[in-house]
Chains A and B, each alone.
Chain A
Amino acid sequence: MLEVKNLVASYGKVQVLHDISLHVPEGKVVALIGSNGAGKTTTLRAISGMLIPESGSITLDGQSIGGLPSYEITRFGLAHSPEGRKVFPTQSVRDNLLLGAYPRLTGARERGDVEADIEHMYDLFPRLRERKDQLAGTLSGGEQQMLAMGRALMLRPRVLLLDEPSMGLAPRLVQEVFSIIARLKRDNITMLLVEQFAAAALEVADYGYVLENGRISVSGEAAMLKNDKAVRDAYLGGASSSH
């Protein structure tokens, strides 16, 4: 469904991604793991148009989206919950969710029942219902993460890119985030997940890619990667990888 081939991207003159190819099949969760600075966030940014790639192709449902600005890419049904959450701090929780449905509300995508979807987000993230009229800037880090995910889901995306949803959260909240990802997976939402908690990410994912210095070093089924010795030593903190 989401197909990235030979992606090359740079920040200025520094090439950050070298020849990245990956595939996210419909209804599956794909984890992208690797150490800090390996290019995980850059890969997501290049896919969603926040960064214009230098070369390579990106297709969603067979349609080319590579090189388009991000506002046009959302029309193809690609949602991106970015690094650092980037909620709109001066607007209410409810307004943030509505903005996630902007292409639906303005005719760029099929409208559907936006109000029902907001209710659905409140069911998925009950904290957001309690705080729906509060400004997003006053939420805790964990709540902002829930909001960023809910806002991305409001697009009714064909594919959802999640960048480090657990970053900076207390362990209890990290678990909550992963249980929500597992629930979204049961709802058949296609996801490309970037995570620092490689073990937990491979637990929920179907497939995994390991990124090293801007290149894919290993890839395969998540269950296989979990048992790969090199992957375990480098990213899963040795033998014990249960979460």
Chain B
Amino acid sequence: MITLISSDKRKFHVLEEVANQSLTIRDVIEDRRGRRRADRIILVTNINSKIPEKVIVYWLRHFLMPEEIAHASMSHKKAEKLKKWEAKFFDTDIDTLNDLILAADSLDIPSLFDGACEKVSDILKNRSAEEVGEISKIENEFTHEEEEEEIPSENAWVWRNEFA
């Protein structure tokens, strides 16, 4: 069992096999192997406080269904079920997705990282730059000239619908 400590000092006890899904944690555990028990405590302070819980939920679901099985011999029904579960898991607000991406990046959890990025790109699809800016709370910081000249003329067709 290893212990993760979040930025707000909460402790999460996780089975090593489960936490191993984070390549970063796996490496840390590997480095400290054979040492005292106190070294099995890992600080994950660079992660927003709500996120470890979510990450652990994700780990547990995936731990029950390791990646290798997922690809090779998982039955169609099970794969479908996991897909549904993931869709629900990622169906969250954009801020949480941002945090999940950053957590997955720093903890090196490829499948979580990919899944979250995929979801973000789904949210961005079919939306204008203004809408995307609003959703992601990015302020439009292009200069007036860029806005007026370069960007639209580069690909004017993107912004228009020629139907009368």
Q: Do A and B actually bind?
A: no
Q: Enumerate chain B interface residues (CB-CB to A < 8 A).
A: none
Identify the A interface with B (CB < 8 A).
none
